[in-house]
Structure 1
Amino acid sequence: MNPIPELTSSLKQLRLSGILDTLEARNREAIDRKLAYTDFLTLLIQDEIARRDHRKLDARMRRANFRGQKTLEGFDFDRLPNLNRAVVHDLATCRFIDERVSVLIAGPCGTGKSHLAQALGHAAARQGHDVLFMTQTRLLSTLRNAQAVGSYERRFQALAKVPLLIIDDFGLKPMRTPEDEDFHDLIAERYERTSTVLTSNLDFTEWGDAFATNKMLGAATLDRLRHAAYRVVLDGESYRVPRPMPESNKSALAKGGKNKDS
């Protein structure tokens, strides 16, 4: 008598149907290795746990809104000889999330700030933390849109409670009222409760310039962000190098040539 149909029904009822994916292989393994029933059962349970962990990780990655697979393994440390790799790898342990402090990343355009921030986010997601990646512009737009449709408080609380919020391109566009107030309220709500990673093209001494109209509010916001924060400076040339022009185009330009439509 084939027990699989009845077993399939029972596993589905227990929400363990994923076991069927490896049941046949594990059964052959148990026969070949003469495993005890308890060892066979242990293998099946371990398979189910691994499947569930993988599904949870996939869900966290989707919610995080990362821009591609920006991992620490793919980060080009060789381009940044002054960067302390030991500090970065220590941050990748995500101890700063347990400490509930910020990580502030500054440097010129194209030095890998967004990549590094997302790499820390990937590490956090793999360790079971919920993460959300957004640019400053997107963050403030999300809050404005929520205000317009009457869901501001719900959206605000979701942003306030996520264990790791990554805000990219801080200060790229100066904040004016009420954006600066929303940003301050969010950082104040997250202060000493959750962790925030910020990236910026501005030097740390220039971060106050992100608050165009209310410098006092900006000082209060940055005071919370800086408290016990880890600072990382990426100092190097941009990796966004344009492709060289074809030789024929170079020659034409060198001779002052005009295009056909001129």
Structure 2
Amino acid sequence: MLLHPTLETLAQLRLDGMLKALQEQLDMPQIQTLSFEERLGLLLDRELTTRENRRLKTRLKQAKLREPAAIEDLDYRTHRGLDKALMSRLATGQWIGEHLNVILTGPTGVGKTWIACALANKACRDGFTVRYLRLPRLLQDLAMARAEGRYTKLLAELARTELLVLDDWGLAPLNDEQRRDLLEILDDRFKRRATLVTSQLPVTLWHDYLGDPTLADAILDRLVHCAYKINLTGDSMRKHTTRLTDDPALA
């Protein structure tokens, strides 16, 4: 058997997983004890794993998550009002497939962004497309896109994303154009895609924050009424980190 042409063909076909696995098999004398079908199965398994890892890497790159968080590392020891059963349910990703929403509220530093990114990371690993955006920056981008003629294209990109994370909801007052932009985004996603929102503002204050009563009703109807709500409490997690780094024993 001429192995060199075979290796070249695998490389040309971009079957990187099979190529690497075959090269490894050539260095394993005991591999000869396996049948052709068994060796072929090992090659195909490696190719499948390689492709899945490549796709995951692409999804994570496109998601642009702010924190390198994983749901497996979620801290339940710090009392923040986290319901472990609910978090386990959300970690399955079923809510994304059902096009539901998650709302994370609580004071600054309590871990909202980290938890949001952990859920988003799990969604990427489960095969969903994800995009993390800070709402203030997104609204600026939409205004710029409108001026440059990219507004419709940007809205379409957001609408296709299976999980959209909107961080820092409620940091600054909205003008009429921004309220309409927000409604457009959420209307495109209502019962079609999942949205995760983090905010320092309690949900009870969102109607006042949005300002215009008519638009506020429309926005909240599309976001809040079909959402899991998690209200975090307690001190800033950054305070705990500061205490640890200030400990002379840990210096």
TM-score under structure 1 length normalisation = 0.87
Q: Which has the higher helix share?
A: 2
Query: What residue number does 1:151 align with?
Result: 150
Partner SS, residue 41 of structure 1: helix
Separation in structure 2 between the aligned mates of residue 232 and residue 148 of structure 1, nearest angstrom: 37
Cα deviation for residue 220 of structure 1 reads 1.1
1:231 aligned counterpart, secondary structure: strand
Partner of residue 200, structure 1: 199
Deviation at 1:32, TM superposition (A): 4.1
Q: Is the CA contact (8 Å cut-off) linking 2:105 and 2:201 kept in structure 1?
A: yes
User: How far is the alpha carbon of 1:31 from its aligned partner?
Assistant: 3.6
Query: Could you tell me which amino acid in structure 1 is paired with residue 227 of structure 2?
Result: A
1:73 is displaced (CA, Å) by 2.4
- How far apart, CA to CA, are the structure 2 residues paired with 1:217 and 1:104? 19
Q: Aligned runs of 1:223-238 on 2, under 5 Å?
A: 223-238=221-236
- Which residue of structure 2 lines up, in the alignment, with residue 119 of structure 1? 118
Supply the distance in 1 between the matched residues of 2:116 and 2:159 (Cα, whole angstroms).
18
- Unpaired runs of 5+ residues, structure 2, are 247-251
- Range with bigger deviation, 188-197 or 224-233: 224-233
Structure 2 counterpart SS, 1:104? strand
Which AA in structure 1 matches 2:7? Answer: T
Question: Offset of 1:84 from its aligned partner?
Answer: 0.9
Matched, 1:239 2:229: no
2:146 maps to a residue whose letter is Q
Report percent identity of matched pairs.
Answer: 34
Could you list the structure 1 runs, at least 4 aligned residues long, displaced by more than 3 angstroms after superposition: 27-33, 242-246
Contact 1:172 1:210 (8 Å CA) reproduced: no
Structure 2 distance, partners of 1:80, 1:148, is 46
Q: Deviations over 1:111-130 (max 9, x none)?
A: 11111111110010000000
Q: Distance in 2 between matches of 1:115 and 1:37?
A: 47
- TM-superposed deviation, 1:232: 0.8
8 Å CA contact 2:17, 2:49 repeated in 1: no
Report SS of the residue matched to 2:238: coil
Q: Cα RMSD over matched residues? A: 2.0
Distance 2:9 2:126 in 1: 32
| Other structure's SS at 1:111 match | coil
Q: Retained in 2: the 8 A contact 1:97–1:195?
A: yes
Structure 1 position 143, deviation (Å)? 0.9
| Larger CA Rg, structure 1 vs 2 | 1
When normalised by structure 2's length, the TM-score is: 0.91
Contact in 2 for aligned 1:27/1:40 (Cα 8 Å) = no
1:120 match: secondary structure: helix
Distance 2:186 2:62 in 1: 21
Matches of 1:62 and 1:210 in 2, distance apart? 33
Question: Does the Cα contact within 8 Å between 1:191 and 1:225 map onto a contact in 2?
Answer: yes
